[in-house]
Structure 1
Amino acid sequence: MPKAGIIYNDVKPIAGRIAVEIKEQLANAGWEVVVTTGVGGILGYSSPDSPVCHTPIEGLTPPGFDQGMEFAVVLGGDGTVLAASRQVAPCGIPILGINTGHMGFLTEAYLNQLPQAIAQLMAGNYEIEERAMMAVRVFRHRDVLWEALCLNEMVLHREPLTSMCHFEIGVGRHAPVDIAADGVIISTPTGSTAYSLSAGGPVIAPGVSVLQLVPICPHSLASRALVFPDSEPVTVFPVNAPRLVMVVDGNAGCYVFPEDRVYVERSQYSVKFIRLQSPEFFRILREKLGWGLPHIAKPTSVELP
């Protein structure tokens, strides 16, 4: 009996209702179906009184989800997809994102396309696109205080108010550099269209094996985005006396104190996205972000002499 999973955003009633409908459809077709919510992939935040909130990366897989699962349908917006990616990546389960949110940059189809999407899934008529992830860990001396898989970005900044921070950052074996900024972002190519884009970083195609470092509002004209091979791990030492807060993918984080260090590297796990048509990154940029739209003054023809 083939096996499938469903992960849905339980905050949105429509996602819960569609999850029940998909489960019934797959079960009637002879599939074993396991249903869970995306809450397990949202790690939450450690508090000042309890800064250690360590959940191992492999400890987020929901019960019943395993390597024998052919696919998982994710119902929600980009936040649900980010949470689900942490839940299923260690098992290598391909996911199909169905947008019930707003932007839906990471999703593949809309609700009105659901019948055709499920038919393609059951027929195995799809492609798999792998996206690189980062493993983010906070160390105090040699102890791991916190860790998480990251599909988009890691952000380190001061709270509660934005103000200048100082960081010592080492990339691979290169000499450490000093950066003064409101914060720093380390992102994957997938995350290059998220927070780092708003902070002035470049858009990077998903298949490029790089990471990027983007200072947030740097206090120097020389501090700009840096793109480097993802074979190079990154170590961030906060120089500020007050504690900083680290946020991963916008829905998980922890406090980072002066005696801590943040270690970021490409993860051994990746997200496998189900594509119902051949992946076309520029089309998504155009549809979601308006990149490369025809200019209103573009000439319709060129007369040659």
Structure 2
Amino acid sequence: MPKAGIIYNDIKPIACRTAEELKDKLISWGWEVYMATGVGGILGYSSPNRPVCHTAINHLNPPGFDGDMSFAVVLGGDGTVLSACRQVAPYGIPLLTVNTGHMGFLTETYLNQLPQAIEHVVEDCYQIEERAMLTVQLFRDDLLLWEALCLNEMVIHREPLTSMCHFEVQIGNHARVDIAADGLIISTPTGSTAYSLSAGGPVVTPNVPVLQLVPICPHSLASRALVFADTEPVTIFPANHNQLVMVVDGNGGCYIMPDDQVRMQRSPYAARFIRLGPPEFFRVLREKLGWGLPHIAKPTSVELP
């Protein structure tokens, strides 16, 4: 019996109702169905007194979600999609993402299109687009304190107030560089349209194998976004006397003490998205962010006297 999964946002009634209806439909078609909420992929926060507070990257999968699962349907917004990716990426489960939220930048289809979409998926009429993810880890004296999978970005900043922080950053085997800014963002191509974009970073198409470092409000005219190969690991050494906070995918994270190290590298796991047609990134940019829309009035050629 083929096996499918459903991951849904349980605080949205429409997502809960749709999940139950979809489950009944798949079972009537002869599928074994497992359900889970997006809560399982939400990252917890550690505390300064008890920093070891995380679940290992490959232990976030809900019961029944494993390598034998053909696909999973995600019902929610971008936050639910990010959570679902952390839950199933280690098992390579393809995700059909259905928007029940607002922006839905990461979603493939809408609720009113779900009946047709699920028929295509059940009949294997789809493509799979893989998106690179990051493995983010916090070390103290070579002891792993916290780790997470990251699809969008990792951010380090000071709390509770925004103020200048100092960082030493090493990319690959290159010499460390010093950056003074309110914070740092390390972004994947998928995350280039999220926080990184708001901080002045470039938009990167998803198939380009790069990462980018974006200082937040840097205190230097020379500190600008840097794009580099995703084969290069990144280590961040906080050069501050106060603790900092690390946030992954805008969701959860941990405290960073002055002698800690944050290490990042491209994860061996990728987010696998079901596409019902050829991926069209520029169309998504246009529809969601208004990029490349034609001007209402274009200049016309005028003959000079």
Whether TM exceeds 0.5 here: the answer is yes
Tell me how far apart the structure 1 counterparts of residues 10 and 241 of structure 2 sit (CA, whole Å).
Answer: 40
Separation in structure 1 between the aligned mates of residue 102 and residue 43 of structure 2, nearest angstrom: 22
Shift of 1:297: 2.3
Partner of 2:22: helix, strand, or coil?
helix
Q: Does 1:76 align with 2:76?
A: yes
CA distance in 1, matches of 2:109, 2:141: 45
Q: What does residue 256 of structure 1 align with?
A: 256
Q: How far apart are the structure 1 equivalents of 2:74 and 2:99?
A: 8
Match of 1:131 in 2: 131
Q: Which letter maps to 1:22? A: L
Cα distance in structure 2, aligned partners of 1:298 and 1:35: 52
Per mean C-alpha deviation after superposition, the further-off stretch among 121-130 and 184-193 is: 121-130
- The question of whether the paired residues in 1 share the 8 Å contact of 2:46 and 2:54 is answered with no
C-alpha distance in 1, partners of 2:214/2:266? 17
SS at match of 1:228: strand
Query: Separation in 2 of the partners of 1:231 and 1:281?
Result: 23
What is the aligned partner in structure 2 of residue 151 from structure 1?
A: 151
Distance apart, 1:44 and its partner CA = 1.5
Q: 1:301: how far off?
A: 8.6
Name the amino acid aligned to 1:289.
Answer: L
Deviation at 1:47, TM superposition (A): 2.0
% identical equivalent positions: 74
SS in structure 2 at match of 1:84: helix
Residues of 2 paired with 1:147 and 1:235: CA distance?
A: 14
Q: Specify every segment of 5 or more residues in structure 2 that has no aligned partner in the other structure, as ranges.
A: none
C-alpha distance in 2, partners of 1:189/1:101? 22
Aligned to 2:197, the other structure's residue is in SS state helix
4+ runs of 1 displaced by more than 4 Å?
299-303
For residues 7 and 202 of structure 2, what CA distance do their matches in structure 1 show?
A: 32
Q: Which residue of 1 aligns with 2:4?
A: 4
In structure 2, what is the Cα distance between the partners aligned to 1:187 and 1:86?
A: 16
Structure 1, unaligned runs of 5 or more: none
CA distance in 1, matches of 2:241, 2:42: 29
**10-19 or 285-294: which moved more?**
10-19
The amino acid that maps onto 2:34 is V
Q: Does 1:166 align with 2:181?
A: no
SS at 1:128 equivalent: strand
Q: Residue in 1 aligned with 2:95?
A: 95
- 1:233-279 Cα distance to aligned partner (Å, 9 max, x none): 00000011110000000112000101100001000000000001110
**SS of match in other structure, 1:284:** helix
Say whether 1:44 aligns with 2:44: yes
Which residue of the partner structure matches residue 140 of structure 1? 140
SS of alignment partner, residue 270 of structure 1:
strand
Displacement of 1:302: 10
**Preserved CA contact (<8 Å) 2:182 2:216:** yes
Q: Which amino acid aligns with 2:106?
A: L
In the alignment, the residues of structure 2 paired with residue 276 and residue 161 of structure 1 have an alpha-carbon distance, to the nearest angstrom, of 44
Whole-Å separation in 2 of the counterparts to 1:39 and 1:142: 30
Corresponding residue of 1:187: 187
- What are the residue-to-residue correspondences of 1:7-46 with 2, within 5 Å? 7-46=7-46
Check the 8 A contact 2:74/2:95 in 1, yes or no: yes
Q: C-alpha displacement at 1:182, in angstroms? A: 0.1
Deviations 1:125-166 (A, max 9, x none): 111000000000000011100000000000000000100000
Q: Does 1:238 align with 2:238?
A: yes
The equivalent of 2:207 in structure 1 is 207
SS of alignment partner, residue 44 of structure 1: coil
SS in 1 for 2:85: helix
Counterpart of 1:130, as a letter, is: E
CA distance in 2, matches of 1:239, 1:103: 36
* Amino acid aligned to 2:79: G
For normalisation by structure 1, the TM-score amounts to: 0.97
2:120 aligned partner = 120
1:52-107: CA deviations, max 9, x gaps? 21311001011101111110000000000000000000000000110010000000
Aligned residue pairs, count: 303
Matching residue of 2:58:
58
